[in-house]
């Protein structure tokens, strides 16, 4: 379910957070379901437990999962809506990104085409 791209310059713990976010958004990780344990994921990914822990701590902080010490970590009830709200809050950055493309002379139609493709790709999965 999780995997690490060791080539990526993205930090391992960030890759894990983004994947969890994606899995939750896609409904592959549902509210109340257990996350893999820190240790098991550490072994299966060949990553130090501390790194997994760091990712889980971050996900907990964002409200996507909650941890019950002694029991494990679980997907939060409202995880999916939290993800959506986070994205809504990022729309300002999307605006800035679009502005930079506009300033660089990239036609809006070309930008929109990429957006269309992204949305279509996701809808195809659903």
Choose the contact partner of 56 out of a copy of itself, DNA, none; CB within 5 to 8 A by kind. DNA
> CA nearest 49: which of 95, 16, 82?
16
89 lies in the site for a copy of itself, by CB under 8 A: no
One character per residue 7-46, x = contact with DNA (rule: CB under 7 A)? ----xxxx--------------------x-xxxx-----x
Please identify, among the stretches 22-30, 51-59, 101-109, 110-118, the one whose residues bind DNA according to the rule CB under 7 A. 51-59
Residue closer to a copy of itself, measured from CB, 43 or 102: 102
The size of the chain, in residues, is 126
Ramachandran area for residue 119 (φ above 0: left; ψ -120 to 50: alpha; else beta) = alpha
Q: What gap in Å lies between CA 108 and CA 123, rounded to an integer?
A: 22
At CA 25, angle to CA 22 and CA 29, rounded to 5? 85
DSSP 32-65: TPBPPPHHHHHHHHT--HHHHHHHHHHHHHHTSE
* Interface positions with a copy of itself (CB under 8 A): 6-9, 11-12, 21-22, 25-26, 61, 66-71, 74, 76-77, 80, 83-84, 86-88, 91-92, 94-106, 108, 110-119, 121-123, 125
* Interface positions with DNA (CB under 7 A): 11-14, 35, 37-40, 46-51, 53-54, 56-57, 60, 67-73
């Amino acid at each position: 379910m999780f995997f690490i791209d060791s080539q990526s310059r993205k930090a391992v713990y960030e890759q894990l957070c983004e994947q969890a976010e994606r899995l939750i958004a896609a409904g592959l990780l549902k509210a109340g379901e257990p996350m893999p344990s820190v240790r098991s994921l550490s072994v299966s990914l060949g990553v130090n437990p501390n790194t997994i822990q760091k990712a889980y701590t971050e996900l907990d902080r964002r409200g996507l999962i909650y941890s019950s010490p002694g029991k494990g970590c679980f997907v939060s009830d409202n995880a999916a809506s939290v993800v959506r709200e986070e994205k809504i809050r990022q729309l300002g950055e999307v605006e800035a990104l679009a502005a930079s493309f506009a300033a660089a002379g990239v036609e809006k139609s070309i930008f929109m085409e990429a957006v269309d493709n992204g949305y279509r790709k996701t809808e195809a999965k659903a």
